[in-house]
Structure 1
Amino acid sequence: MHYDFVPLPDRKPLKWPNGKKLAVMLTTNLEYWDQVREDDAPYYPGGPGIVGGTLAGNVYDNPNWTWREYGQRVGVWRMFDVFDKAGVPSSCTMNAKMGLERRAVVDAAVQRGWEIVPHNYVQSDLLTDFFFDKEKEREVIRETLRVYKETTGRDAKGWLSSSLRCTLNTVDILAEEGLIFTTDLLNDDQPYLVQTQSGTPIVSVPYTSEVNDFTVFMRQGMDADGGARVFREQFDWLRNEAIEQDSGRFMNIGLHPHVIGQPFRIRALKDFIEYAQQFDDIWFATREEIAAWYLENHQDHI
């Protein structure tokens, strides 16, 4: 994996379509966790738990598993209702097991015409488990893409690794499989090109671990007002920066149905969307739209 280090001040202005200043992605992560694994290695939870402590992989962790399942049974539908009433789309991610075990949730996103990005095979496994075995990593990615197409009815265009734990081989494999963007890299507020061994570049359209309901609510302990304030602060600064420097930015909010989908938190999402909709220079974009546009126009940027 290689990308050029080009500091923000050294870039040409980034122009979004139709003169928009800020692209906003509201990411709903559709994630499934197995109840147990076959081995007794520590179970990787893929995010903070509601009850502390890590059990062996072959021991069922009831409070944490059922808390996460709340997002699939209840929380995600609350989120979909907020998006529907506001008339804005969500850019969803989906691990393969979600399509196999919780098909109704994925179908609801597909029926709405929303973007869905492959998000590894199952949330409790990581690509870094295969850091020294590129072919095994390729197998996991290919199986994920196979289930994705079977579930969504279309070929995937991008990728997000579980917990963003990719390897140095991941983007090369993605390019070889025909994908055009990765969401794993956290190092920018604009897209850029990642070079690959195949010679076909991949567009980086970053996810976020900062403006993320795990961080805001679970790690920092904010309430709905505090969460909405964080979202607005990020939005305002990026938008003003884009206007002052005449160069577009993008903003992502990472959302998990078992976290933001709780009744006492969901208002943070509703309030933020209502706030952002006041501005006519905002683009509620998909990652595929951003990546495709960037591949056509990036020569004017870097």
Structure 2
Amino acid sequence: MDYDFVPMPRRKPLKWPNGKRLALILTTNLEYWDKVQESDRPYYPGGPGIVGGNLPGNVYDNPNFTWREYGQRVGVWRMFDVFDAEDVPSSCTINAKIAEERPEIVEAALDRGFEIVAHNYVQDELLTDYMFDEAAERAVIRRTLDTYEKVVGEKAKGWLSSSLRSTLNTIDILADEGLIFVTDLLNDDQPYLVKTRSGRPMVSIPYTSEVNDFSFLRQGLTVDTGFQMFKEQFDWLYAEGAKSGRIMNIGLHPHVIGQPFRIRALRDFIRYAKTFDGVWFASREEIAEWYLQNHASHIDPTP
């Protein structure tokens, strides 16, 4: 995995289709966690807990498991109601096990025409566990993609690693498997091409760990300060987009933003964003396919 360092001043203006200024991605992370693991190592759930303290993987953590399951039983449906009422799409990431264990959720996203992005096999397994075993990492990715194709009915085009913990081999493996975009890289507000060993093109479409509903937990945000975080990000990027297009992603988790006392921040932000011309409620696949055809007009190709 390799990419050129091209700082913003060295790029040509990015011109989104139809004169859009800002590609806005509302990412709903549809994730499944195992109750227990066959391990006495500390359990890694891939996000903050509601009750502190790390139990070993083979010990059931009831408050944290059932808190996260609230997102599957209640929170995600509240989010889908908001998306329906406001008539906007979401880009949904799924790990393979939620498709196996909670298929109703994936079916509801597909029924709405929402984009589905592959998101590892299970949330508490990290690809970095296989940093020094590429064959094992490839097996996890392939197993995930096989389940994705079975459930979604087509091959995956993009990938988000659990907790964004990819290895130096991940993007090369994804390119070998025919994917065209990756969401693990946090280092930009625009898409760019990533080089791969095979020479197959891969587009980076950035995720964010900051404009994320986990900030409600980590920073003690309220519904109003959470909305303000979304708005501040939007306003600045929208202004910059007048000269060169930008991407804004919001990372959302049904057990967090789907709580009744937080959901208004999402609804009010969507309503705010819709008052602006030039906002593209985009899927990552749309961005990636467009960028593969237009990248040379943005960043000069290198040999």
Match of 2:292 in 1: 295
Q: Give the residue type in structure 1 aligned to 2:130.
A: F
SS in structure 1 of the partner of residue 241 of structure 2: helix
Q: CA offsets per residue over residues 117-168 of structure 1, 9 Å max, x none?
A: 0000000000000000001000000000011111111110000000000000
User: 1:280 & 1:146 partners in 2: Cα distance?
Assistant: 40
The aligned runs of 1:117-156 (5 Å cut-off) are 117-156=117-156
State whether structure 2 residue 44 is matched by structure 1 residue 57.
no
Structure 1 residues without counterparts, runs of 5 or longer: none
- Equivalent residue for 2:192? 192
Q: CA deviation at 1:39?
A: 1.4
Match in the other structure for 1:241: 240
2:28 equivalent in structure 1: 28
Cα deviation for residue 201 of structure 1 reads 2.0
Where structure 2 has 5 or more consecutive residues not aligned to the other structure, the ranges are: none
Deviations 1:57-90 (A, max 9, x none): 0000000000000000000000000000000000
Separation in structure 2 between the aligned mates of residue 86 and residue 280 of structure 1, nearest angstrom: 16
Q: How far is 1:11 from its partner?
A: 0.2
In structure 2, the residue matched to 1:284 is 281
CA distance in 2, matches of 1:56, 1:133: 24
CA deviations on 1:205-256 (whole Å, 9 max, x unpaired) are: 01100000002x000011111100000000000000111xx21001000000
Q: How many residues align?
A: 299
Task: Pick the aligned partner of 2:251 from 250, 254, 272.
Answer: 254
Structure 2 CA distance for aligned equivalents of residues 151 and 208 of structure 1: 27
What do residues 21-77 of structure 1 show as CA deviations (whole Å, max 9, x unaligned)?
Answer: 000000000000000001111100100000001000000000000000000000000
CA distance in 2, matches of 1:13, 1:199: 26
Matches within 5 A, 1:1-302: 1-215=1-215, 217-243=216-242, 246-302=243-299
Residue 262 of structure 1 and its aligned partner are, at CA, apart by: 0.2
Q: Which letter does structure 2 place at the counterpart of 1:283? A: W
User: Matches of 1:33 and 1:6 in 2, distance apart?
Assistant: 38
Task: Give the alignment's TM-score, normalised by structure 2.
Answer: 0.98
Q: Deviations over 1:167-206 (max 9, x none)?
A: 0000000000000000000000000000000011210001
Q: Is the partner of 1:2 in helix, strand or coil?
A: coil
Q: Distance in 2 between matches of 1:190 and 1:84?
A: 28
Matched letter for residue 174 of structure 1:
L
- Supply the distance in 2 between the matched residues of 1:149 and 1:53 (Cα, whole angstroms): 37
Structure 1 CA distance for aligned equivalents of residues 226 and 57 of structure 2: 33
CA RMSD of aligned residues (A): 0.5
Percent identity between the two aligned chains:
73
Aligned equivalents of 2:241 and 2:96: distance in 1? 36
Amino acid in the other structure paired with 1:75:
G
